[in-house]
Amino acid sequence: MSKINESPNTNNKYEKKISNLPQDDGWKPVGNLYKYQGFWYGPSLLQNVISAQESFTPQPSDIVLCSSPKSGTAWLKALAFSIVSRNQVNDSTNPLLKKLPHEIVPFLEIELAQDSNNRNLEIPFVATHIPYDSLPKPIIDSECKIIYICRDPKDVLISHWNFDQQVSGIGSESFPLEEALEQYCKGIYPFGPYWDHVLGFWKASLEFPEKVLFIKYEDLKTDGPFHVKRMAKFLGHPFSMEEEEEGDPEKVVNMCSFENLSRLEVNKNGKYYLPDLPTFVNKSFFRKGKAGDWKNYLTDGKAAKFNQIMAEKFSGSGLV
Ligand code: PAP
């Protein structure tokens, strides 16, 4: 039985700082989690988050794609990349045909944490699961645009539970959904609590609408072209009348759809290698891609209780 995170490197300069933080081991696939600046992290990721906070400086033109895990990060990466690069690539040359979206847009707290120069500067994107208030200050102070994707927390829970079980090898008998649900309600799982993660970006999007765009997974599902146009405008790459008449926003939506990406050879049989983490099979990032899959896992009673907790947390924020 393996776990997703490695133990912290004992020589690591952050070891002492991390070992003094509040701990919890209830999210079994990861093991010990540590509470830092209000959010929970496995030890290796936390080292990377702190390192990124201390050393990451974005390029002025960077676009920062933010999310809580399992909220649609890969989809957002694919969409934003396809929008911005649409004049350089077409439907037969788009790198998404050959690469997992995560390979095209690196994660700040994974690939870029130790060495922010270790990136292809032609790709003006950085992705992260780091909460808004913990983002490296140079990102907040820069002109960089931020897009945040949020998703129904019940679907996030189900996606997260399935993914972590598969990647860690810890099965549902050792980590039943009941336990995962309880941890979610307490907010104790990697990058949790969900409500604080979402609210950080939601409030920033209200305060700085030119800098932070807040989008919902479910809205993208219902009206992809509308939200793709919204994103393009926000990023300073609006679709022209001609492009709209040609159906270019729809082409982006189709290229990045779950149906299209999940059937590609790279996403069916490829692998994703990351420093200090186990190798992932690409298909683990494409499970069902649906809104409302939680109905196959949670009873109405459990869902109502979960909804009530979320409603209380979001109350007064204007977010539903
Ligand atoms: P990450 O946090 O590991 O990066 P992330 O990409 O945020 O994962 O989320 C994965 C979810 O997005 C999966 O949801 P599911 O488990 O409910 O199926 C995955 O299937 C879904 N997903 C991936 N690509 C797409 C897409 N193109 N359209 C819609 N959903 C997608």
260 lines ligand 1 (CB under 6 A): no
Instruction: Report residue 318's pLDDT band, with 50, 70 and 90 as the boundaries.
Output: very high
Q: Which residue out of 286, 288, 296, 297 has the highest number of ligand 1 atoms within 8 Å of its CB and is therefore the one to mutate?
A: 286
- Ligand 1: residue whose CA is nearest its atom 22: 289
Q: Which of the 8 DSSP states describes residue 12?
A: -
CB 303 within 8 Å of CB 146: no
- Nearest alpha-carbon partner for 49 in 123, 120, 139, 121: 139
Interval 244-267: pLDDT, tens:
999 999 999 999 999 999 999 999
Residue 2 has pLDDT above 50, yes or no: no
- Nearest alpha-carbon partner for 130 in 234, 48, 220, 75: 48
224 lines ligand 1 (CB under 6 A): no
Residue 11 has pLDDT above 90, yes or no: no
Query: Quick one: 123 exposed, middle or buried, by C-beta within 10 A (0-12, 13-18, 19+)?
Result: middle
Determine the pLDDT at residue 269: 97
What is the Cα gyration radius of the chain?
A: 19
Distance (Å) from CA 180 to ligand 1 centroid: 18
Domains and CATH numbers, the chain: 15-314 (3.40.50.300)
CB 233 within 8 Å of CB 73: no
CA 171 to CA 28: how far, in whole Å? 10
Interval 179-232: pLDDT, tens:
999 999 999 999 999 999 999 999 999 999 999 999 999 999 999 999 999 999
CA 198 to CA 115: how far, in whole Å? 28
Residues of the chain with pLDDT > 70, as a percent, come to 96
Instruction: Report residue 87's pLDDT band, with 50, 70 and 90 as the boundaries.
Output: very high
Structure tokens at 172: 């549902």
Per the prediction, the chain carries an average pLDDT of 93
36 lines ligand 1 (CB under 6 A): no
Residues of the chain with pLDDT > 90, as a percent, come to 84
Distance (Å) from CA 287 to ligand 1 centroid: 7
Distance (Å) from CA 217 to ligand 1 centroid: 10
Determine the pLDDT at residue 65: 98
**212-216 and 33-36 strand pairing:** unpaired
Residue 304 has pLDDT above 80, yes or no: yes
Atom of ligand 1 nearest to the CA of 257: 27
Q: Which of the 8 DSSP states describes residue 120?
A: -
Distance (Å) from CA 20 to ligand 1 centroid: 34
CB 105 within 8 Å of CB 123: yes
CA 106 to CA 120: how far, in whole Å? 9
Q: Which residue out of 227, 287, 288, 297 has the highest number of ligand 1 atoms within 8 Å of its CB and is therefore the one to mutate?
A: 287
- Ligand 1: residue whose CA is nearest its atom 27: 258
Q: Which residue out of 75, 161, 215 has the highest number of ligand 1 atoms within 8 Å of its CB and is therefore the one to mutate?
A: 75
Determine the pLDDT at residue 251: 97
Residue 56 has pLDDT above 50, yes or no: yes
Residue 1 has pLDDT above 60, yes or no: no
267 lines ligand 1 (CB under 6 A): no
- Nearest alpha-carbon partner for 210 in 234, 245, 244: 234
- Ligand 1: residue whose CA is nearest its atom 30: 289
Residue 102 has pLDDT above 80, yes or no: yes
Q: Which of the 8 DSSP states describes residue 279?
A: P
* Residue linked to tokens 């999210």: 27
CB 3 within 8 Å of CB 25: no
Instruction: Report residue 30's pLDDT band, with 50, 70 and 90 as the boundaries.
Output: very high
Q: Enumerate the active-site residues.
A: 129
142 lines ligand 1 (CB under 6 A): no
Instruction: Report residue 4's pLDDT band, with 50, 70 and 90 as the boundaries.
Output: low
69 lines ligand 1 (CB under 6 A): yes
286 lines ligand 1 (CB under 6 A): yes
Instruction: Report residue 122's pLDDT band, with 50, 70 and 90 as the boundaries.
Output: confident
Determine the pLDDT at residue 3: 58
Give this prediction's pTM. 0.95
CA 112 to CA 122: how far, in whole Å? 15
Interval 14-25: pLDDT, tens:
888 899 999 999
Distance (Å) from CA 16 to ligand 1 centroid: 35
The region of weakest confidence among 32-36, 120-124, 161-165 is 120-124
Q: Which long-range contacts (CB under 8 A, 24 or more apart) does 296-301 make?
A: 296/158, 297/158, 297/177, 298/154, 298/158, 298/177, 298/181
Residue 116 has pLDDT above 80, yes or no: no
Instruction: Report residue 113's pLDDT band, with 50, 70 and 90 as the boundaries.
Output: confident
CA 157 to CA 189: how far, in whole Å? 10
Mean pLDDT value of segment 3-19: 67
Mean pLDDT value of segment 267-273: 95
Residue 65: what are its φ and ψ, rounded to 5°? -100, 115
Mean pLDDT value of segment 92-101: 96
